[in-house]
Structure 1
Amino acid sequence: MTHPDQGTADEVEDGEKPANTGARAILDQMGGVSGLIYSSLPVVVFVPVSTTAGLLPAIFAALGVAALVLLWRLFRRDSLQPALSGFMGVGISALIAYLVGASKGYFLLGIWSSLIWAAVFALSVLIRRPIVGYVWGWINDHGRGWRQVRRAVLAFDIATLVWVAVFASRFVVQHRLYDADETGWLGVARIAMGWPLTGIAAIVTYFAIRYAQRAVHAQHAATADRHEQADERAADEPA
């Protein structure tokens, strides 16, 4: 019987980084799991303060929480780029809310960013260059060789499309709530569709990468066998 961790062990022995490394790389670009949770804190503060005290106090409250999160992440020596990006995101969202003159404006950056990411990920699948595959190839120094393995491309297509669904659903739901002036529900949707959906997409990405790794390994093994057989036939031929 094959041990459930044998696939990962084989990948490490072959110089292949585990599948969860690829999923983690995508998460890291979003600040990691902790970054996704931290990004919810300013929203948790902004919505109730805007309801009870108005827009300006809510903006200052969100910026204050974002500053505390930034200082905490710097104290923990977390990666600087996600920490600064999170603080700047809150700052830009607060500025948009101020310019719009309504609390719901705080969510515009996230709404349209979701649409842009959905479009980018979807386009990568349409042109047969799924983003998840390129992230995995970059991490493992495989270049573009995986594109010659149809099963690997299919697995990466599926994983990328899951991310498309995550981003697209965020845009559709939150855009409708924005049009309906439902600021409170916008805050709920922002949190509920944040790290929980990202976690689901990361799990799908993990299994897709494992499947793709097996497909690439099988393709390499088959190619090596064909070359070995060709060499044996060449050696057996009379001079």
Structure 2
Amino acid sequence: MSEETRSGIRAISGETFSLEDAVGGWRGAIESVAPGLLFVVVFVASGQRLTPALIAAAACAVLAVIIRLIQRSPLTQAFSGVLGVGIGVIWAWRTGEASDYFAWGLLVNVGYLAAFLVSIVIGWPLVGLVLGLFRPEGPLNEGGSWAGAVAWRTDRVLRRRFAIASWVWVGMFAARLLVQAPLYWADQVGWLGTAKLVMGVPLTALVLWLSWILVRGTTAARPTPAPTRQDP
């Protein structure tokens, strides 16, 4: 896999770090931010009317997919955005509560927080598991295997580095919940939307960069031990 195609947590497996690639390119970042931003702007501008805000957010997400289809661009990120927006729109429409547009995002953060935390506790930090896929011994490389992907567990230093990097992700998801959950329960839609935007792509980019600093070089091939000289 080339450096240019690494995005999200895969970006920390490279020898160099590209902020643009890490967030899925500036286009991907805009597609991620735009529906939520439009939802809040339309909701406030329309006098807190829910329907126009939901229509605006859904239309924005669908438009991103249509444009990619026309341009024959990769659809993975756009489709994932449509899925998240769609769940938020349906949830808020059924309950009639604007804050429920953000409920799915909060649950996703709970899920990721639990996954990263459990992985650290049981000694299989998720950052290590993901990076193991990109190691020369990993299954994504020719001749690699799943056993090679987790060979790092025999190295105490690597386990520690991957655990520390995973704690950084735990911190991000915990911070989001600590800030956004109270705003959700208080039905502060404007502030909730603002917090979600600030703690979305910008915070994720920062965490990706910190993770790369912590684990860079760990996907390099293991040196082959020198043969032991034996006396005749």
Distance 1:189 1:143, change over 3 A: same
- Alpha-carbon offset, residue 78 of structure 1: 3.5
Give percent identity, aligned residues only: 34
CA shift for structure 1 position 213? 4.5
- Does residue 179 of the first structure (1) align with residue 172 of the second (2)? no
Quick check: 1:22–1:135 contact (8 Å CA) kept in 2? no
8 A Cα contact 2:110 2:177, kept in partner: yes
2:36 alignment partner, one of 35, 40, 43: 43
From 83, 89, 92, the counterpart of 1:97: 92
CA-CA distance at 1:68 after TM superposition: 1.3
* Deviation by residue 1:114-170 (Cα, 9 ceiling, x = unmatched): 011011011111111111111111122132111111111111111111111111111
Among residues 14, 17, 27, which one is paired with 1:20 in the alignment? 14
Task: Write 1 or 2 for the structure with the bigger share of helix.
Answer: 1
Point out where structure 2 has 5 or more consecutive residues left out of the alignment: 1-10, 139-147
2:142 corresponds to: none
Matched, 1:162 2:156: no
Distance 1:161 1:33 in 2: 27
Shift of 1:32: 6.2
Specify whether residues 31 and 119 from structure 1 end up closer, same or farther in structure 2 by C-alpha distance, changes over 3 A only: farther
Q: Is the 8 A contact 1:50 1:57 kept in 2?
A: yes
In structure 1, runs of 5+ residues without a counterpart are 1-16
Amino acid at match of 2:62: A
CA contact (8 A) 1:151 1:212 kept: no
The residue number in structure 2 matching 1:3 is none
Match of residue 72 from structure 1 = 67
Give the whole-Å Cα distance in 2 for the aligned partners of 1:126 and 1:189.
29
1:206 aligns to 2:212 (yes or no)? yes
Counterpart residue type for residue 43 of structure 2: S
Partner of 2:127: 132
User: Post-superposition shift, 1:74?
Assistant: 3.0
Larger radius of gyration: 1
For 1:183 and 1:63, the matched residues in 2 are separated by 17
TM-score normalized with structure 2 length = 0.80
Equivalent position SS for 2:133: helix
Q: Which amino acid aligns with 1:70?
A: V
How many residues are matched?
207
Which residue number in structure 2 is paired with residue 113 of structure 1?
A: 108
* Aligned-partner Cα distance in 1 for 2:16–2:165: 11
Residue 151 of structure 1: aligned partner: 157
